[in-house]
Structure 1
Amino acid sequence: MASIKNFNPRSIPIATRSLLGAAIVLSLAGLVVPHEYLALRPATSFYYIWTFALAGLWEINIFSLAINSVGLVLSGKYFESHWGTKEFAKYVAIVNLSTYFGVLLATVFEYAVTMDYFWLFGSEASGLAGLLAGFLVSFKQAVPEHSIKVFNVISIRAKYIPSLYLLANFILFALRIIHVHFFIIFFGTLGSWVYTRFYKKQDGIKGDRSETFSFASFFPDFLHPFIKPLSNTVYKFAVAAKLCPPLRQPLPTTTPVAAAGSQQAASNPPAASDADAERRRALALKALDSRLASTPDAPGAR
């Protein structure tokens, strides 16, 4: 209770605070503004192009706004502090736009299959759920082995949370409890993974090619022999179509022994991802050591 009383809104980073304010303002505006100006509707969003940006921040009711605002503040305080305001804002823009563009493609595809005009004129997509699903992916990438206790009973590692969340929503989708909302979760997860895996710069490294963050890592181990060949084929196609960058080659070296090692590594592209992963671990350990070294001993400690 004391922590709630002592809560200071200024402790929320500026970009997160701005997003929260925009979500509240848009939700209030939704009381008087027609929904097609705020939510994504396949038939009208081509004309109201701004809905691709606004839909990811507009919640249709006060309950979803309250719940998702808490998730936004917690995620924003963590990631904006680690990434910086500029990278955080860039991440939010990319994940939101990719989420709702994916939802548009999915609903248009459903119309093409069913010829039901509801998917063009009646379906609406909006809310922070896609962005929050993306944050779960980033949490998996940042601290995969971190354990979270649910109701102090079940302990779940961070690397499993995006998959479990996606699975839970897929079950609701299969039971016809939700529909377009599942598309939001799915494309939020996919957009965040693609950006983080191949494009996002962190610690001087572009993307995260480590095996622990591969596409197959979102599935149980027994499915990896089936998932990996499929994902590798899609990846090679995306590289050939210049939709995705190829594996980064190791940095050139000057010594003969190191040069020979680089040539051998170049013939084995996964070595680059292993090097990236080791470098990330080394940077993280170095940062932790510097923090511990700069922390004075507590008075009276024994």
Structure 2
Amino acid sequence: MPPRLNIPPVTRIVLAVLGLQSLSSIVIHRGRSNVVIEWLTLVPQLSLFYPWTFVTATLVEENLVSLAIAGVTLFNGGRYLERAWSSKEFAKFLLVASLVPNVLCFLLLITMFTLTRNEDWTLTTINGTIPLQISFLVAFSQLVPAHTVTLFRGVLSLRVPRFPLIYIGLVTAANLTPWISGASLPLAIFGFLTSWTYLRFYKTVFPDLDSSQPASMRGDASETFAFSEFFPAPVKPFVAALADQVFNMLVAMRVCTPFSQADISAAQGNNFHQRLRARRRKSGG
């Protein structure tokens, strides 16, 4: 008897919506590459009457290759993160990682049209799981920051926090081809910034039951999840200095609250327990 696939509920729903919407898009586009589906994908000039597309367009892929990649990513990443965080917290993360990058990309395209008066900007389609894919990489960087992935039989070893920037580099290269939408690169960048900001400052964290920490906390104050940790060592000090200036400005505007030493200690301890629980759930313990 084949092993039963144990897919958590939110991941199951997301995969079903991805398949239904993407296959609908592929069928509609068959032999008609210039068709715009304003009720399925987000198109700045056409989709304001379809507000749900600001969220649902993220789960629309327009060819079978990208659909297969998205399906594998959401299946494996979704199962891991939903078990590590709970279904409720995972659903909130998906909502933020879908809605905010789409809105920011929408505003960017409108701004480019305003500056250039080129209507192509407002007819650019915004869709695809790119914001979710890079958001998963950011989330893994939080949960397993010291984990190293070895490639090509040991020739290349990379820590998990390096993957978001590598992903942005791959999207940048693919953006020079007709294979993906012109909105893909902004979506990758906005997905990276949105997911890190949410996990760093806003996501609710439930500490280990055996600890003396509060019933819940927000954000992740650990040094291993600082913004500069995603960058190579030579540029890390410059990124850290710039990030500190931006953070100080946000604190002055009362958008963010400075972390205390207690917050940092609690985050480090809680991250350890989160990673331990994730491993146990993955192994079925």
* Band of TM-score, shorter chain: 0.7 to 0.9
Q: Which deviates the most, 276-285 or 212-221?
A: 276-285
Residue matched to 1:263 = none
- What is the identity percentage for the equivalent residue pairs of Structure 1 and Structure 2? 32
Residue matched to 1:201 = 204
Counterparts of 1:86 and 1:199, CA distance in 2: 15
Q: CA deviation at 1:280?
A: 2.5
Residue matched to 2:37 = 35
Quick check: 1:26 aligned with 2:38? no
Q: Which deviates the most, 74-83 or 229-238?
A: 229-238
- Give the partner amino acid of 2:63: N
In structure 1, stretches of 5+ residues that fail to align are 250-270, 296-302
Q: CA deviation at 1:49?
A: 0.8
The answer (yes or no) to whether the contact 2:148–2:159 under 8 Å persists in 1 is: yes
Residue matched to 1:232 = 244
Counterparts of 2:120 and 2:90, CA distance in 1: 36
Counterparts of 1:206 and 1:193, CA distance in 2: 13
Quick check: 1:222 aligned with 2:234? yes
- Give the partner amino acid of 1:136: L
In structure 2, stretches of 5+ residues that fail to align are 30-35, 208-215
Quick check: 1:17 aligned with 2:17? no
Residue matched to 2:94 = 92
Q: CA deviation at 1:73?
A: 0.2
The answer (yes or no) to whether the contact 2:41–2:127 under 8 Å persists in 1 is: yes
Counterparts of 1:285 and 1:128, CA distance in 2: 25
- Residue 148 of structure 1 aligns to a residue whose secondary structure is strand
Alignment of 1:47-62 (within 5 A): 47-62=49-64
Relative CO higher for 1 or 2, CA cutoff 8 Å, sep ≥ 6? Answer: 2
- Residue 150 of structure 2 aligns to a residue whose secondary structure is strand
Change (3 A) 1:171 1:285: closer
CA deviation digits over 1:243-281, x for unaligned, max 9? x321244xxxxxxxxxxxxxxxxxxxxx34532343225
Q: CA deviation at 1:147?
A: 1.9
- Give the partner amino acid of 1:133: I
Q: CA deviation at 1:32?
A: 4.0
RMSD: 2.6
Alignment of 1:61-210 (within 5 A): 61-121=63-123, 123-153=124-154, 154-173=156-175, 175=176, 179-202=182-205, 203=207, 204-210=216-222
Change (3 A) 1:85 1:278: closer
Structure showing greater Rg? 1
Counterparts of 1:223 and 1:71, CA distance in 2: 30
Q: Which runs of 4+ in 1 moved over 6 A?
A: 285-288
- Residue 25 of structure 1 aligns to a residue whose secondary structure is helix
The answer (yes or no) to whether the contact 2:84–2:274 under 8 Å persists in 1 is: no
Q: CA deviation at 1:39?
A: 0.8
- Residue 158 of structure 2 aligns to a residue whose secondary structure is strand
Q: CA deviation at 1:110?
A: 2.0
Q: CA deviation at 1:169?
A: 2.5
- Corresponding pairs, count: 262
Residue matched to 1:255 = none
Counterparts of 1:82 and 1:206, CA distance in 2: 16
The answer (yes or no) to whether the contact 1:247–1:272 under 8 Å persists in 2 is: no
The answer (yes or no) to whether the contact 2:84–2:277 under 8 Å persists in 1 is: no
- Give the partner amino acid of 1:84: S
Change (3 A) 1:282 1:165: closer
The answer (yes or no) to whether the contact 1:52–1:101 under 8 Å persists in 2 is: yes
CA deviation digits over 1:2-24, x for unaligned, max 9? xxx93534x11111011000111
The answer (yes or no) to whether the contact 2:144–2:275 under 8 Å persists in 1 is: no
Q: CA deviation at 1:216?
A: 1.5
